Amino acid sequence: MRLSPRDTQRFYHIWFALLNYINAQLYIVPDFPDAPGNEPISTEVTVQLRDALWDHDDLRERFIADNPAQLSAADLAIVESWQYRVADSFSIVRSLQKYTIFLSHTAPAHAYGVLGLVSTIEETLPLPLPVYAKAVLLPF
Is residue 19 located within the same domain as residue 77?
yes
Which of these three, 44, 63, 83, is where a domain ends? 83
What are 64-76's pLDDT values in tens digits?
999 999 999 999 9
Domain that holds residue 107: 85-137
Pair (10, 59) in one structural domain: yes
Pair (13, 43) in one structural domain: yes
Shared domain check, 77 and 43: yes
Query: Please, which residues have CB within 8 angstroms of residue 83's CB and are 6 or more apart in sequence?
Result: 57, 60
The count of C-alpha atoms lying within 13 angstroms of the C-alpha of 96, restricted to the half-sphere facing its C-beta, is 10
Structural domain ending residue among the three candidates 83, 99, 121: 83
Please tell me whether residues 44 and 102 are part of one structural domain. no
Q: Are residues 71 and 104 in the same domain?
A: no
Its pTM stands at 0.88
How far is Cα of residue 30 from the mean position of the Cα atoms in its chain?
22
63 and 79 assigned to the same domain: yes
43 and 102 share a domain? no
Q: Alpha-carbon distance 31 to 11, whole Å?
A: 21
Show pLDDT as tens, one digit a residue, over the chain (140 residues). Answer: 888 999 999 999 999 999 999 999 999 988 887 777 767 788 888 889 999 999 999 999 999 999 999 999 999 999 999 999 999 999 999 999 899 999 999 999 999 999 998 888 888 888 889 999 999 999 99
Exposed/middle/buried for residue 72 (C-beta within 10 Å: 0-12, 13-18, 19+)? exposed
**Which letter does DSSP use for residue 2 in this model?**
B
Q: For 124-139, how does the pLDDT look when each residue is reduced to its tens digit (9 = 90+)? A: 888 889 999 999 999 9
> Are residues 95 and 40 part of one domain?
no
